[in-house]
Structure 1
Amino acid sequence: MGMLSDPEKKFSLLKKDFAELNAKAIDELNVDAVIHFAAFVSIDESMVKPEKYFENNERKTFEFVHNLFSSSSQPFLIYASSPEVYGNPVRTPMDELHPMRPRSIYAVTKLAAEKHCMSLFEWYSYPVNVIRNFNTFGPNQNVSAYSAVIPAFIERALSNEPLRITGSGEQTRDFQYVKDAVRAYESLVLTRGKLKGETFNIGSGKQIKIKGLAEKIIGLTGSSSRVEFAEGRKGDLAALQADYSKIKDKLGWQPKFSLEEGLKKTIEWYKTFRK
């Protein structure tokens, strides 16, 4: 945490459950902006543990944003959402006005949380923005049973184990390197709420097939892994591609890293630091 009014001041790390931050605790932190990333993010897990996702992603967010509103400081809020709220595309690239047809419990909780945040803007003009992060990847990303596809592929490729794809591999995603995403949040937080009420997509603006991603990671790692296919999931999205023209027009943001550049940096990190 840190102060926008004193950007040279070093940030402090506070480990605390965001649900414990009542209005008094928020005022005591003395912050003027909050970026809300606290969420469970596995689509698969959300379908087998729906209560966990509802409780954390939606209910706790509802309580948290109302605590922000009840605080004296009323810090500017940026909520980190997901393109999963759009569901299967009716057009690509997908802009912020694309129809909302979420297909998983995870996606439903993210859309509901967006609405809880934005309701405070609609009724009270509270300073809120939403960023819909298309698939973000980079160093230190979690590798687990419910991990995202890039860290899972890299981990298996570095071990020369099969890369497993659910479905045909023809489905596409839009992957952005984490440093590009960070720049977007930095740009928005420094507006100090002047663009309140706006929602923005961030992503690379490009699609890649999942089987193409697997082949690229095998090539970049020099792995002897092969690609295996498993039965597809009923609710899996056919495609994702960001239209980020709105944030480019408003803030001048656009991605700087290509997919290959980001993958190379991420692979080097895993080679150095993975167990």
Structure 2
Amino acid sequence: MKITLLGGNGFIGDYLAAKLKKQNGCELRVVGLASQASNDYIQMDLSRPNERLRPLIDWSDTVVILTRDDIKIIDNLLATLTAREHPIKIVYLSTLLVYPDSDLPQDENSPLEPRTDYEELKCVEERKLLWLMAENSFCKLCIVRMANVYGDIKNRGVINSLFQAILTSALFEINSPGDSTRDYIFIEDAAELLAFLVLWPQNLSHEIVNICNGRAYSVQEIKQIAEMITGVKINTVSGPSVLEKKKIIGDNKKILSLSGYRMKHDLRQGLKKTLHSYKKYFNLEV
């Protein structure tokens, strides 16, 4: 199988590429904006038309979209894909944040209720790709709605900020009021399940699948677990209030049923491994 990862040199892409390279019969191409020395890496600005994109898409059996949220990237990809006549599978990385604010786990049939610009853009990109699938019978689409992924220094989320504060004795900023809860998944579990969907012989023309843990934690709860693991009291400062949903939890029954996978990390186990990664990065004792 010939697989192209668009935006594949980022946090999730690094782990996904490592998983796929271990699979027999997989040929991999990774596309990113930054310069990188590798035989399977292609430097390309996907937000601009590029004549090198068409032969790359023609070469691919599956294209995985891991790029930053940018409608220009999706539009350029759509223009290239509509000219293709051979079967292709598209795997698009979306987010659980498109679901409504709710105390209940949201499954793949839940309505979408975007609130922020980021959430709205993800919904727009999903709709554009669904249009492509509807207009082109050769195309199969798998939309992956991902929980908050953590576990490595490349991650730029709240857990990254937390461990940076622990290891550099910096203040940890918590945006007011700080009681929102999110579904978090460790990067090794996320990459394992995403690799499954990339390789999965999908029968239907389109699928929507959550990748998540099915449990939500607040920033305060994560902070308390991190303090227990590290033995370090984290000094905090209140940040500005932000527009965000109070509670987002995904329902992971579908992906676990399809894959037969059992989650290997709860939040405490994942944070322990995360601490190990950060200590290695900062050249501290591990």
Q: Please, what TM-score do these two structures have when normalized by structure 1?
A: 0.82
Match status 1:148 vs 2:157: yes
Q: How far apart in 1 are the matches of 2:88 and 2:274?
A: 33
Q: How far apart in 2 are the matches of 1:245 and 1:62?
A: 32
Q: Deviations over 1:104-123 (max 9, x none)?
A: 11111111001111112223
Q: Deviations over 1:188-214 (max 9, x none)?
A: 111244343110111111111211111
Deviation at residue 67 of structure 1 after TM alignment: 1.2
Matching residue within 38, 45, 68 for 1:17: 45
State the AA in 1 paired with 2:153. Answer: N
State the AA in 1 paired with 2:110. Answer: H
Matching residue within 58, 61, 67 for 2:80: 67
Deviation at residue 66 of structure 1 after TM alignment: 3.2
Deviation at residue 6 of structure 1 after TM alignment: 6.0
Matching residue within 182, 187, 199 for 2:191: 182
Aligned residue number for residue 176 of structure 2: 167
Q: How far apart in 2 are the matches of 1:181 and 1:117?
A: 22
Deviation at residue 141 of structure 1 after TM alignment: 2.1
Q: How far apart in 1 are the matches of 2:50 and 2:141?
A: 18
Bigger drift between 159-168 and 18-27 goes to 18-27
State the AA in 2 paired with 1:249. Answer: S
Aligned residue number for residue 133 of structure 2: 121
Matching residue within 44, 60, 75 for 1:31: 60
Q: Deviations over 1:49-80 (max 9, x none)?
A: xxxxxxx2x23212213312312445310000
Q: How far apart in 1 are the matches of 2:28 and 2:63?
A: 16
Aligned residue number for residue 53 of structure 1: none
Deviation at residue 244 of structure 1 after TM alignment: 1.0
Match status 1:221 vs 2:239: no
Matched residue of 1:100: which SS? coil
- Contact between 1:175 and 1:203, CA under 8 Å: does it hold in 2? yes
State the AA in 2 paired with 1:93. Answer: P
Q: Deviations over 1:163-196 (max 9, x none)?
A: 2211233211111011111111211111244343
Matched residue of 1:187: which SS? helix
Distance 1:250 1:225, change over 3 A: closer
Bigger drift between 74-83 and 19-28 goes to 19-28
State the AA in 2 paired with 1:157. Answer: I
Matched residue of 1:246: which SS? helix
In the TM superposition, structure 1's runs of 4+ consecutive aligned residues that sit over 4 Å from their partners are 1-6, 8-11, 20-24
Bigger drift between 222-231 and 163-172 goes to 222-231
Deviation at residue 258 of structure 1 after TM alignment: 1.2
Matched residue of 2:255: which SS? helix
State the AA in 1 paired with 2:44. Answer: K
Deviation at residue 152 of structure 1 after TM alignment: 0.6
Aligned residue number for residue 7 of structure 1: 25
Match status 1:86 vs 2:104: no
Matched residue of 2:270: which SS? helix
- Contact between 1:19 and 1:64, CA under 8 Å: does it hold in 2? no
Matched residue of 2:128: which SS? helix
Distance 1:224 1:33, change over 3 A: same
Q: How far apart in 1 are the matches of 2:51 and 2:134?
A: 21
Match status 1:131 vs 2:144: yes
State the AA in 2 paired with 1:109. Answer: L
Distance 1:72 1:175, change over 3 A: same
* Root-mean-square deviation over aligned CA pairs: 2.5
Matched residue of 1:211: which SS? helix
Q: How far apart in 2 are the matches of 1:253 and 1:17?
A: 35
Aligned residue number for residue 110 of structure 2: 98
Q: Please, what TM-score do these two structures have when normalized by structure 2?
A: 0.79
Q: Which runs of 5+ in 1 are unaligned?
A: 41-55
State the AA in 2 paired with 1:33. Answer: T
Q: Which runs of 5+ in 2 are unaligned?
A: 4-19, 30-39
